[in-house]
Amino acid sequence: MTLDAKIPSGPIEDAWAKHCFDMKLVNPANKRKHSLIVVGSGLAGGSAAASLGELGYKVKCFCFQDSPRRAHSIAAQGGINAAKNYPNDGESVFRLFYDTVKGGDFRAREGNVYRLAQISGKIIDQCVAQGVPFAREYGGSLANRSFGGAQVSRTFYARGQTGQQLLLGAYQALERQVHAGSVTMIPRHEMLDLIVVDGRARGIVARNLVTGEFSVHIADAVILASGGYGNVYYLSTNAKGSNATAIWRAYKRGALFANPCFTQIHPTCIPVSGDYQSKLTLMSESLRNDGRIWVPKKKGDTRSPDQIPEDERDYYLERRYPSFGNLVPRDVASRNAKAMCDEGYGVGKSGLGVYLDFSEAIQRLGEKTVRERYGNLFDMYQRITDENPYKVPMRIYPAIHYTMGGLWVDYELQSTIPGLFVLGEANFSDHGANRLGASALMQGLSDGYFVIPYTIGNYLATNKFPKVEDSNPAVQEAVTAVKSKIDKLLSIKGNRTVDSFHRELGKITWDYCGMARTAEGLQTAIAKIRALREDYWKNVTVAGSADDLNESLEKAGRVADYFELAELMCIDAHERNESCGGHFREEYQTPDGEAQRDDEHYSYVAAWGYAGPDSPPSLTKEPLEFEYVHPSQRSYK
Amino acid sequence: MKLTLKIWRQKNSNEKGAFVRYSMDDVDPEMSILECLDVLNETLILKGEAPVAFEHDCREGICGSCGFMINGIAHGPERATTACQLTMRHFKEGDELTLEPWRAKAFPLIKDLVVNRRAFDHIIEAGGYVSVSTGQAPEGNNLPVGKEIADESMDAAACIGCGACVAACPNASAALFTGAKITHLGVLPQGEPEKERRALAMVAQMNAEGFGNCTSIGECTGVCPKEIPLDVIAHMNCDYVLGTVRRRDDLPTPVTPVTA
């Protein structure tokens, strides 16, 4: 298979406008004749469903939560980037594009990233118009702050709840379309399979999570915006319900999965405290603007932080990266924290933690200003740890936070299955091997508000959509497959819970395919995952039945998918013999421990195809070309 | 530490429910109450019993999924804290905690501690937005918004839609939730043109969903994990009254008063 990314030719700055003109349009009277399915109601799905509804399409939007407002985009704290250059500090579309390509360690497509940077400003305008209460200066203009990996202040924010406010903006726009009758919202439903008829995506099979009822939904196109797969690791900053089932079932129906090993470890999370722990809590990266990261210079120093004098502290990021200091990108900050802890400098009971200290900022700015900037984050930290970060430095440790990999899409966000579009974190497109802070919200909203409304028209206008009956063999086959999988899970009645399997799988994936990877370790991981998966299908026990609200059953299906996905992540990580961004292979590093890329051999997108339960996945490579940003060794020194 | 959980168990809305006691032997003070339920559920599943159904998702206090009454208080005894962030260190050895679902006519029970809160979506659907479609926005900085106004709007916009306010209110009123959205949008210049229509439509929907009237008791703001101030209800009443007085033909017909 060859992959056509459909990147327009010609100067990059005109490419999107030209492409928009070249794409076919659906005339307004015909739009209401087209039906669309959107799976997921976060920033990407919510904004897409709302915008497509406004255009006049008939949209059905699904989410597994009780309300679209609960989607996990809501938990994003720090902010959203845009190339507005309000602070007059040298920002431009080109700089945002450049920083994103470089930040992604030259593993993203230039064309997609440039479009993202171009659209970024319009996103802010749209959100402001919706009434998103962004932070303001006293004069009434929009406030900006800096964020990890950037030397300009391009981040817009709403206290520490930017994701919440942007999501509520999209949710309200969505509810407006529900009111107008153009969008039907279907909450508490989980997509369990994709229906592919004559090679094209034509619908989904969903399960009602309250009644257990299965339903078939047919449409002219299907849009997946179901988020990332960080929960493979069990402990992550994702919501408990976040899952990969929608994209994984699409993969098994023929959509290629790109760069599955590109996962992001966020540097500033609250360290693990016990075995019962169900998730990890993020502390916004914005804290690194004013907080200073350090460890004691002496190994295994058990003194309390206030007893350690200034000259016995190692501010290792400031020492190693003088020009970016505490604001280095996430992958660099995470790796350094791990290295310090591995060498024995870690703090806290487990030794897996470093200090994030605000005492200098409190002295310089006063406690009031610090409280204004980070009050809710400090409160959250105190609620969880019972320590007061105004007095004692926070303890932080890296945790899985975001997945750059996802279903492969072209410039029009269409997967390798015609009629299946993938938006937001669920696709692989814009962040390469490492995402910069405050760029996920930007991408989700760009895809949903400003890309899919244009590109879907091109698909709808150039294809015909014969009616698909429920009796169609493809529909029947999908429904039967879904039902038999659920019956199988319920019938095993083994002796281990789903969660205990998931924890073990997460531990394997974290140990071998987390912050540092080796060829040998990845092979070990693949063997362990396979063995555990086999055990799962013999010994798992799932409570209850299929005909009512049964979280145990929901989890069982998702974990079954994680086993397969975790294996693919390890295969991909094993195949990529280089280090780039969040993918750090210990064999490939510079003498001073930085990631060593191999552009000659690995400057490509690795797109994996499903080849059946007993065959290894097939690899298709999409070469990456860099015309505007010359790949260089990333340096933040 | 050891403690007892007395939990409301109800298979579905058609069957009768009852409290069931579970003793927990090894509760870590650092765990959240939801993690405590996770541990209980693991043991129930292995014993072949039905695990306790409870709503949860982000577990960091922002999605609004979780919440139940803990010893009669929505989200439990800690101020400004959702159940998912309520750690067990706030309880003592030997305590008995009574967990029961939100109880309100507009929130019908689904199972155990899970209720249906779709009524909140319907209230937003009725008018909780600025009527601007994608692409219609002017340049962001063309419309200055004073910092104080943006802050006031943000204070109200922080609502997570968990439903604690309704559960705590003796009248099961949704005035704090509805008022929060009306205030978030109404104080901003972007939301100003529609503020009367918005208040009339949202209040009408709130009543239609079966929520009770507000009698200014203030339990709602007391349990609100985001500390939404009671002022938002005054704001709602103000916009509502303005809409009633204007009586423009294009506005929704006023319904029964907001405050009894």
In this prediction, residue B255 carries a pLDDT of 66
Angle between helix A110-130 and A12-22 (nearest 10):
70
Across the beta sheet with A257-258, the strand order is A406-407, A257-258, A604-609, A618-623
Report the candidate in B193, B65, B82, B78 with the shortest Cα–Cα distance to residue B129: B193
Residue of A63, A167, A179, A542 for testing the chain B interface, max B β-carbons within 10 Å: A179
pLDDT digits (tens, 9 = 90+) for A281-290: 998 888 998 9
Q: Is B241 a domain residue?
A: yes
**CA-based nearest distance A316→chain B, Å:** 29
Assign residue A34 a region: left if phi > 0, alpha if psi is -120 to 50, beta otherwise? beta
Q: Work out the angle between the directed axes of helices A498-513 and B33-46 (0-180°, nearest 10).
A: 120
- Cβ atoms within 10 A of the Cβ of A11, count? 10
pLDDT of residue B258: 54
Nearest-by-Cβ selection for B59 from A135, A274, A278: A278
Whether domain A473-603 has CATH 1.10.260.40: no
Spatial contact of A439 and A431, defined as CB atoms under 8 Å apart: yes
pLDDT at A199 over 70: yes
Residue in chain B closest to A69 (alpha carbons) equals B63
Residues B239 and B191 occupy one common structural domain: yes
Asked whether residue B128 falls in the same domain as residue B12, the answer is no
Q: Domain extents for chain A?
A: 266-401, 473-603
In a domain, residue B255? The reply is: no
- Give the number of beta-carbon pairs within 8 Å between A and B: 213
**CATH number of residue B148's parent domain:** 1.10.1060.10
Mutation for A interface: B43, B56, B60, B89, most A CBs within 10 A: B60
B57 to A282: CB separation less than 8 angstroms, yes or no:
no
Please report the pLDDT score of residue A177 as a whole number: 98
pTM above 0.90, yes or no: yes
pLDDT at B181: 98
AA identity, residue A306: D
Of the residues B58, B84, B111, which one is the last residue of a structural domain? B111
According to the model, what pLDDT value does residue B250 have?
Answer: 73
Based on the fold, state whether residues B67 and B105 are members of the same structural domain. yes
CB contact under 8 A, B62 and A125: no
Total domains in chain B come to 2
pLDDT value of residue A367: 95
Residue of chain A with shortest Cα separation from B59: A239
Asked whether residue B61 is domain-assigned, the answer is yes
Which of B81, B111, B141 finishes a domain? B111
Cα A232 from Cα A568, distance rounded (Å): 11
A380 touches chain B (CB under 8 A): yes
Exposure letters A47-85 (e unless 16+ CB within 10 A, then b): bbbbbbbbbbbbbbbbbbbbbbbbbbbbbbbbbbbbbbb
Per-residue pLDDT, B253: 74
Nearest-CA distance from B114 to chain A in Å? 10
CB atoms within 10 A of CB A517: 25
- In the numeric block, the tokens 């992959």 are attached to A3
Distance between CA A246 and CA A262 in Å, rounded?
Answer: 19
> Hey, what CATH class is A266-401 in?
alpha beta
The last residue of a domain, from among B76, B111, B146: B111
Are residues B142 and B68 part of one domain? no
Are residues B123 and B214 part of one domain? yes
Q: The domain containing residue B132 runs over which residues?
A: 118-246
Res B260: pLDDT: 43
Range ranked top by mean pLDDT from A80-84, A142-146, A298-302, B247-251: A80-84
CA distance A373 to A159: 7
Q: Are B124 and B187 in a shared domain?
A: yes
Contact A424, A101 (CB under 8 A): no
Tell me, yes or no, whether B150 lies in a domain.
Answer: yes
Tell whether A54 is within 8 A of chain B (Cβ).
Answer: yes
* Residue B253 is assigned to a structural domain of this protein: no
Average pLDDT, chain A: 96
Which of B37, B46, B58 to mutate to probe the A interface, most A CBs <10 Å?
B58
Bridge partners (DSSP) of residue A200 are A197
Instruction: Compute CA A616 distance to the chain's CA centroid, rounded to the nearest angstrom.
Output: 26
Q: Are residues B95 and B135 in the same domain?
A: no
Task: For residues B132 and B118, give the distance between their C-alpha atoms in angstroms, rounded to a whole number.
Answer: 24
| CB < 8 Å from A in window 99-118 of B | 110-111, 114, 116-118
Beta-carbon separation of B126 and A179 below 8 A: yes
How does pLDDT run along chain B (260 residues), one tens digit per residue?
999 999 999 999 999 999 999 999 999 999 999 999 999 999 999 999 999 999 999 999 999 999 999 999 999 999 999 999 999 999 999 999 999 999 999 999 999 999 999 999 999 999 999 999 999 999 999 999 999 999 999 999 999 999 999 999 999 999 999 999 999 999 999 999 999 999 999 999 999 999 999 999 999 999 999 999 999 999 999 999 999 888 677 777 776 555 54
Contact list, A59 vs chain B (CB under 8 Å): none
Residue B260 lies in a domain: no
Tens of pLDDT, residue by residue over A489-520, are 999 999 999 999 999 999 999 999 999 999 99
Residue of B nearest to A173 (CA): B129
Residues A546-583: pLDDT tens digits?
999 999 999 999 999 999 999 999 999 999 999 999 99
ipTM of the complex: 0.97
Mean pLDDT of A537-542: 98
Q: What are phi and psi of B137, to 5 degrees?
A: -75, 140
Residues A453-493 have pLDDT tens digits of: 999 999 999 999 999 999 999 999 999 999 999 999 999 99
Q: Is B208 on the interface with A (CB under 8 A)?
A: no
Give the nearest partner residue to B61 out of A130, A131, A380, using CB atoms. Answer: A380
Kindly state whether residue B258 falls inside one of the protein's structural domains: no
- Specify the CATH number for the domain of residue B71: 3.10.20.30
List beta partners, residue A77: none
Is the same domain home to B234 and B127? yes
Residue B165 lies in a domain: yes
Q: Are residues B127 and B219 in the same domain?
A: yes
Contacts of B153 in chain A (CB under 8 A): 131, 133
pLDDT at A459: 98
Pairing of strands B3-9, B96-100: parallel
